[in-house]
Amino acid sequence: MKIGVLGPVGSGKTSLIINLTEYLVKRGLKVGIITNDVVSHNDAITIYNTLVDQKKILNKENVLGIVTGGCPHTAIREDPSLNLRALEILNNRDKFDVIFIESGGDNVMSSFSPLLADYTIFVLDTSAGDKYPGKGGLGIFESDLLVINKIDLAPYVNADLEKMRRDATKVRKNKPFVFVSLKTGEGLKELHSVLEGEIKSESVARD
């Protein structure tokens, strides 16, 4: 299963992937990761340092970093050739149950090509303002799962979580969304449950 993770710069995409990878690996799944950065390998280095060097739950061959050199939307949607090549490389290395593909920092209109992602997660940062769910945009209302992150910061930035909940319900209609804090762990049980259910469903459909 190929899972695309996208959202604005600083929303917590890399941290989310690290958390979900730890969770899935503990359940016996093989996980690969592809990161997209415009001018650096920063996200790949962060993931590598955390999951390969420190926690030793991934092999170095499981992580690939791409420098797109341009618009992050293009590399995951209009011309996903770099990412398709990275997928090919990973699939030649091992048989992965899940491959996360992290987009470079983008905006609410970003989306993944169906050639790249079977399932998409859009990540929003609560501290960026409680207006975001209501703004809509392709990423917010078309993603398979909306993750509203950093809810522990809401009191410090005057973000109204109930407003965000109402707006997300309205904009996303029947599609799921979760509120989480990757720092405190709040909401992670629900997030893990939603994702695990999707992975099981995809596996049954594939078989």
Which fold does the domain 2-193 belong to in CATH? Answer: Rossmann fold (3.40.50)
Residue 5 pLDDT > 80, yes or no?
Answer: yes
pLDDT digits (tens, 9 = 90+) for 65-75: 999 888 888 89
The neighbouring-strand residues paired with 100 are 3, 33
Q: Which amino acid makes up residue 65?
A: G
- CB within 8 A of 79, min separation 6: which ones? none
| The pLDDT of residue 175 | 94
pLDDT digits (tens, 9 = 90+) for 109-120: 889 999 999 999
| The pLDDT of residue 204 | 59
- CB within 8 A of 102, min separation 6: which ones? 5, 6, 13, 14, 17, 33, 34, 35, 36, 43
φ/ψ of 9, rounded to 5, equals -60, 130
Q: Which amino acid makes up residue 44?
A: A
C-alpha distances out from residue 200 to 33, 98, 145, 195, Å: 19, 11, 16, 9
The pLDDT confidence band at residue 155, using thresholds 50, 70 and 90, is very high
**Which tokens go with 187?**
């909401």
pLDDT digits (tens, 9 = 90+) for 29-44: 999 999 999 888 999 9
Domain residue limits, the chain: 2-193
- CB within 8 A of 182, min separation 6: which ones? 12, 15, 16, 19, 149, 150, 188
Q: Could you tell me the pTM of the whole model?
A: 0.95
Residue 207 pLDDT > 60, yes or no?
Answer: no
Residue 158 pLDDT > 70, yes or no?
Answer: yes
Residue at token pair 């092999």: 59
